[in-house]
């Protein structure tokens, strides 16, 4: 009888714990969605437009895409010539271990979300503009702000050089670089892009981990 009581008590605790976890996850999801749709900043253009930059998404992860004329010279020198450069920030293990999202394992996902981890910047050379990119017009001041934001995300060597990871890439047109900041559930690849938009004084979410709120063409 004692054993049966203990077994029932254990099951009761387990079920209660599961319910609490589900409620916490639901509340977190609700908060993230609400914050994603509350916008701050302005969408109005400044007096002059110097260039156009883009946001591109693979459905989960968002990159800034900068044309050759305005991308940082350090990136150009390191990567070689291209019409466009896609620049994204994210979790080191995720970048290095998951080339395609169908390769994503539970252990990598849990570490990325719940354990503060090192970050990398992924840069890809592109020579063709895609129709699904979100276009953003920037003034010269906003371009400078964005480039400063991106530059500060790169970890630098003793001589100020970008710290490229040698011997690893997805192909011949991309490279990975050591980055500043830790990746957490509250500081993701998409919150990094959202902060960049705020840095330019553009309309952005209060906070968002979602790609669709960034690339949506308003």
Give the model confidence (pLDDT) of 161-215 as tens digits: 999 999 899 999 999 999 999 999 899 999 999 999 999 999 999 999 999 999 9
Q: Is residue 73 in some structural domain?
A: yes
Q: Tokens 């020579």 belong to which residue?
A: 127
Q: Is residue 9 in some structural domain?
A: no
Query: Could you list the residue range(s) of the whole structural domain that residue 93 is in?
Result: 39-215
pLDDT digits (tens, 9 = 90+) for 100-139: 555 555 555 566 566 788 999 999 999 999 999 999 999 9
Q: Is residue 5 in some structural domain?
A: no
Q: Is the pLDDT of residue 97 over 80?
A: no
Domain count, the chain: 1
**Whole-structure pTM value:** 0.87
Q: Is residue 74 in some structural domain?
A: yes
Q: CA–CA separation, 24 vs 196, rounded Å? A: 29
Q: Is residue 33 in some structural domain?
A: no
CA 186 to chain centre: 11
Residue among 215, 95, 88 at smallest CA distance from 165: 95
Q: Is residue 3 in some structural domain?
A: no
Q: Is residue 43 in some structural domain?
A: yes
Rounded percentage of the chain residues whose pLDDT exceeds 70:
84
Q: Is residue 25 in some structural domain?
A: no
CB atoms within 10 A of CB 119: 24
């Amino acid at each position: 009888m004692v054993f049966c009581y203990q077994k029932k008590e254990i099951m009761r605790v387990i079920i209660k714990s599961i319910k609490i976890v589900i409620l916490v996850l639901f509340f977190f999801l609700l908060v993230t969605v609400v914050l994603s749709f509350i916008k701050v900043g302005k969408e109005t253009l400044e007096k002059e437009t110097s260039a156009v930059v883009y946001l591109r998404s693979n459905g989960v992860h968002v990159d800034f895409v900068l044309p050759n004329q305005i991308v940082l010279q350090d990136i150009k020198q390191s990567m070689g010539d291209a019409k466009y450069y896609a620049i994204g920030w994210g979790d080191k293990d995720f970048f290095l271990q998951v080339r395609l999202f169908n390769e994503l394992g539970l252990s990598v996902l849990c570490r990325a979300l719940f354990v503060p981890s090192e970050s990398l910047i992924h840069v890809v050379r592109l020579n063709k503009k895609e129709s699904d990119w979100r276009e953003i017009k920037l003034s010269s001041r906003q371009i400078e702000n964005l480039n400063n934001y991106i530059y500060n995300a790169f970890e630098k060597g003793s001589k100020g050089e970008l710290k490229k990871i040698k011997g690893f890439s997805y192909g011949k047109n991309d490279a990975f670089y050591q980055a500043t900041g830790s990746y957490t559930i509250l500081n993701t690849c998409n919150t990094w892009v959202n902060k960049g938009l705020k840095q330019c004084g553009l309309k952005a979410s209060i906070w968002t981990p979602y790609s669709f709120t960034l690339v949506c063409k308003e």
